Amino acid sequence: MPDRESTPASMPTMKENQRNNHPRKVPAKNKFPGDRLGHSHWWTSKFPVFFRFVKKYLSFNRIIRRGLLIISAGLLILCLLFLNYSFSPIDRNNLTVIVNIPTGSSFLESVENLSRAGLIKNRFFFLSLATLKKAGRHIRAGEYEINTMITPWTMINKIVRGEIKQYRVSIPEDLSIRDVAEILDKDKLINKDIFFQLARDREFLASLNIQADSIEGYLFPETYFFNRSMNTQLIMKKMVDTFWQNVTPAMIKKANDSGLSIHELVTFASLIGKESAHNAEKPMIAAVFKNRMKKGMRLQSDPTAVYDFYKFKGKVLRSHLRRNSPYNTYLIKGLPPGPIANPGLDSLKATVNPAPVDYLYFVSKQNGTHYFSSTLSEHNLAVQRYIYEKNEQIQELGSNVPQPVEEGSSQRIEDGALDQEN
């Protein structure tokens, strides 16, 4: 019997061959869960309806997950677009837009006004942003000045806070109510008809503590900030309130002690302001007027002779000084019936603090200041000096300087001649 050759170690045995030849079980990728319970599939055969339902549910769940993923991605993109809209400039062209939201406008009407002004590029995002900021019930009416470089977020904050456009209005001293009305009407802040009606409305004046027939003199000269949401009455009230803030009780008492009522104080101050714009001179002019009143002399203030002229410009002539007017202090004695302008604080202070001088006359120096005199002879010399200086000025300027057609001259020239008639 031949020797049995030993099997090499590297050669597989029969059992190993059987094992290697047996197909390996590879689970199916989408194998139904019930198949994992065994080869008999007795669960699936026993409950076929149930397992069909589970299979459909799992398949539907995959669709839902994919749908949710798509929706989430869409929402993320939408949020990014919303944030980009909210915090990006409305328009990079750097424009300034004026938009008015009328009083009583609803939220949607306000949105429409903003849209017509070109300030809303995406209505959906804007409404969403307004809802997020709870702006629907808090948008304030008014006129807004909006620069397009701001963001919608900032614009909504601006409208909710009521940061309406403010007009800076400077009212110079010594203007009449007609001049004040022109300045306010320039920016369409008032209705001129209503303004002049209220200016002489006794009930309205009484509500402002004005015991007079007109608001003239009580519209305090100052720099104001008005807006178009303020009506004419409110603007006038603001100016009168500023008057009472500056005219202190101490000033009123001092005026009363000198024999002047509040209305006379304002009237007196209006004459001083119209005679000189130099604050240093005003106490001396106040002294001149008070000294003349003590002596029973007419005040002879040129501006009073032309007060009731509408938009008077030019020189005060002899014919003006002889006009029959209740304000013409060349014809009446004492103060006129009311102020001829709205005086500033310096004129009011000068009225109650006149300079301790005995001057009775003054005449222009051709530079805005005046020569002051105590006697008529001194005054006449000052007048001659004025005439000489005026002629010198005309010669320097040349022969093309227009001359007045009527006989007369500028302020204070006629004082001496008329005083001789007193």
- C-beta pairs of 309-316 under 8 Å, 24+ apart in sequence: 310/178, 311/178, 315/404, 315/408, 315/409, 315/410, 316/408, 316/410, 316/411
Instruction: Decide: pTM greater than 0.75.
Output: no
How far is residue 317's CA from residue 323's CA, in Å, rounded to a whole number? 10
Q: Does domain 167-245 have CATH number 2.60.120?
A: no
What residue spans define the domains of the chain? Answer: 96-161, 167-245, 248-421
Task: Output b/e per residue, 153-176; b: 16+ Cβ within 10 A.
Answer: bbbbebbbeeebbebebebebbbb
The tokens for 79 are 């949020």
What does residue 167 show for φ and ψ, rounded to 5 degrees? -100, 120
| Structure letter (DSSP) for residue 82 | H
- What fold is seen in the domain 96-161? Dna Ligase; domain 1 (3.30.1490)
What does residue 187 show for φ and ψ, rounded to 5 degrees? -100, 15
Question: Residue 101: beta bridge partners?
Answer: 142
Q: In tens digits, what is the pLDDT along the chain, a chain of 422 residues?
A: 455 445 455 555 555 555 555 555 555 544 545 444 444 455 556 556 666 666 666 666 676 777 777 888 888 898 999 899 999 999 989 999 999 988 888 888 999 999 999 999 999 999 999 988 888 778 888 899 999 999 999 999 999 998 999 999 999 999 999 999 999 999 999 999 999 999 999 999 999 999 999 999 999 999 999 998 899 999 999 999 999 999 999 999 999 999 999 999 999 999 999 999 899 999 999 999 999 999 999 999 999 998 887 767 767 878 888 888 899 999 999 999 999 999 999 999 999 999 999 999 998 887 778 989 999 988 888 888 878 777 766 666 554 444 333 322 234 444 433 443 33
The answer to whether the 96-161 and 167-245 domains have the same CATH topology is: yes
